[in-house]
Homo-oligomer: A and B are copies of this chain.
Amino acid sequence: MKFAIVVNEGPYQHQASDTAYQFTKAAVAAGHEVVRVFFYHDGVNNGTRLTTPPQDDRNIVDRWSQLANEAGLDLVVCVAAAQRRGIVDADEAKRNGKDAENIADSFRISGLGQLIEAAIQADRLMTFGD
């Protein structure tokens, strides 16, 4: 079965990203396909590579990147939400005149259409928020 996952909150502040990760991992382990993980609202903040969480805590961003690499996940950060919150890749930095970028490994920035498309392709849409 095909799943699309939506994450609406940033790392650490709310449990949304944690539960979404555990669900995604379990779905992949059960042999399902996760067609896309879409990060919306403050969820875009899961896609920065600049976090340094305490060593005795989980690294939420790295964990997503690793799962994406292992399971071939498509991690998409919403461009409109990312612009409001400062998540930037090289293209976005150039377009918006920014002198730095911060996108994490295996994340990409794209439009809201990617969410709609994933919802159409997937058999189930799972939302994790506040």
Chain A residues at the B interface, C-beta cutoff of 8 Å:
10-13, 41-42, 45, 48-54, 57, 61, 80, 83-88, 92-93, 96, 98, 100-102
**Nearest B residue (CB) for A95:** B52
**Nearest B residue (CB) for A97:** B52
Answer whether A51 and B84 are a contact pair too, CB < 8 Å, given A10-B42, A13-B42, A45-B10: yes
CA distance A116 to B89 in the complex (A): 36
CA distance A115 to B91 in the complex (A): 37
**Nearest B residue (CB) for A104:** B86
A103 vs chain B, min Cβ distance (A) = 10
Inter-chain contacts of A83 with B (CB < 8 A): 51-54
